[in-house]
Amino acid sequence: MHVFAVFVFFSFGVMGLTMFGERYLHHTRDRWVATAAVIGVALAWLAGFDMWTLWHVGLRADWIGTTLTGLALGGGATFLHSVTVFFTGLHRKLDDQAEVMEQHELRRAA
C-alpha cells in the first residue's frame, strides 16, 4: 500500500512541475501530456523508483520497470490534473457567474 501512496505523491509532484512549466511554456493539451510523461520518467529515474519490482512483478530488465513507472507517473499526473481542473471549474457552473454579473449590473443601472 505504501507503494501506491508514494506513486500518488510523485504524481502530484509531476503535476506541479508540469503546471509550473505550463505557466512559462504555454503549451497545448497534447504537449502537456508529453511533458508530464517526460518529467515522470525523469523523476522515476532520479529517484530509482520501480513500482513493478516493489509489487513483485517480474520484468525482463530493470530499466523497463523504471521507465514504465515514469510513464505511469505521467499518466497519473494527467489524471490528477483533469480531476483538479474539474473541481476548480465546478464553482463557476454551480454559482452561474453570468447570472451574478447580470444582477450586479442591473442593481448598478437602477
Q: What is the pTM of this model?
A: 0.76
Cβ atoms of 10 and 70 closer than 8 Å:
no
Could you write out the DSSP letters of every residue in 25-38? H---HHHHHHHHHH
Per-residue H/E/C for 58-107: CCCCHHHHHHHHHHHHHHHHHHHHHHHHHHHHHHHHHHCHHHHHHHHHHH
pLDDT in tens, the chain (110 residues): 788 899 999 999 999 998 888 777 766 666 888 889 999 999 999 998 888 887 778 778 888 888 999 999 999 999 999 999 888 877 777 666 666 666 666 665 55
User: Cα(95)–Cα(101) distance, rounded to whole angstroms?
Assistant: 11
Alpha-carbon distance of 77 to 71, in angstroms, equals: 10
Query: Which cell numbers hold the place of 8?
Result: 500518488
